Chains A and B, each alone.
With several copies, the nearest count.
Chain A
Amino acid sequence: MKREAITVRNLSYSYPDGTKALEDVNLEVYEGERIALVGPNGAGKTTFMLHLNGTLRGTEGQVEIFGKSVDTMRREEIVKEVGLVFQDPDDQLFMPTLFDDIAFGPINQGLKEYEVRERVEKAISSLGLSGYEDRSPHHLSFGEKKKASLAAVIAMEPRILVLDEPTANLDPRSRTELIGIINELNEREGITMVIATHDVNAIPELADRIYALNRTIIETGTPHEIFFDGKLLKQNNLDVPDVFKLFEVLRCFGFNCEKLPLSLDEAISGLTTVIETEGGHIHLHIHEHTHEGVKEWRNKYGHHVPK
Chain B
Amino acid sequence: MVEYPEIDRYSSLDSPMHRFDPRAKLIAFTILIFSIVLLPNLKLALIGLLASILFLIASKLPLRFALQHIKWVFLFVVPFIIIMPFTVNGTEIFSFYGLTMTYEGLEYGILVAVRAISAVILVLPMIATTRFDITIKALAKLKMPNMLVQMFMFTYRYIFVFVVEFQRTWRAMAARGFKLKTNVYALKTIGKALGTLFVRSYERGERVYQALRSRGYTGSPKTLVVFKMHVLDYILAGTIIGFAVSLHIIPLYLHS
Contact = CB atoms under 8 A, between A and B. Distances in A.
Are A and B in direct contact (Cβ within 8 Å)? yes
Interface of A: 16-17, 50, 53, 55-56, 75-76, 79-80, 82-84, 86, 88, 90-97, 99-100, 103-105, 107-109, 113, 116-117, 134, 136-138, 152-153, 156
A75 B179 CA distance: 9
A157 to B, nearest CB: 12
Contacts of A138: 4, 160-161, 164, 199
A108 B217 CA distance: 6
Nearest to B212: A94
B214 A104 contact: no
Interface of B: 3-4, 6, 131-133, 136, 153-154, 156-158, 160-161, 164-165, 168-169, 171-179, 189, 192-193, 195-196, 199-200, 204, 207-208, 210-218, 221-224
Given A91-B172, A94-B157, A96-B192, A104 B178 contact: yes
Contacts of B195: 94
B222 A107 contact: yes
Contacts of A100: 133, 223-224
B224 A116 contact: yes
Given A86-B207, A91-B207, A96 B132 contact: yes
Contact of B211 (A76, A86, A96, A97): A86
Given A55-B214, A107-B224, A108-B216, A75 B177 contact: yes
A107 B223 CA distance: 7
Given A55-B174, A91-B210, A95-B223, 13 more contacts: A55-B210, A75-B177, A79-B176, A79-B177, A80-B216, A86-B175, A91-B207, A92-B208, A94-B211, A105-B215, A105-B216, A138-B160, A152-B215
B141 to A, nearest CB: 14
A53 B175 contact: yes
Contacts, number: 157
Given A75-B174, A96-B132, A108 B215 contact: yes
B216 A92 contact: no
A97 B172 CA distance: 17
Given A76-B216, A107-B223, A96 B177 contact: no
A96 B157 contact: yes
A91 B204 contact: yes
8 contacts: A55-B175, A76-B216, A79-B175, A84-B175, A86-B172, A96-B132, A138-B160, A156-B177
A153 B211 CA distance: 10
Contacts of A50: 171, 210
B209 to A, nearest CB: 9
A219 to B, nearest CB: 28
Contacts of A80: 216
A108 to B, nearest CB: 3
Contacts of A152: 176, 215
B216 A94 contact: no
Contacts of A104: 173, 176, 178, 189, 215, 217, 221, 223
Nearest to B214: A84
Contacts of A16: 3
B6 A105 contact: no
A36 B64 CA distance: 42
Given A108-B176, A108-B218, A109-B216, A91 B224 contact: no
Contacts of B165: 91
Contacts of A95: 133, 153, 157, 192, 221, 223
A56 B174 CA distance: 11
Contacts of B218: 75-76, 108
B210 to A, nearest CB: 5
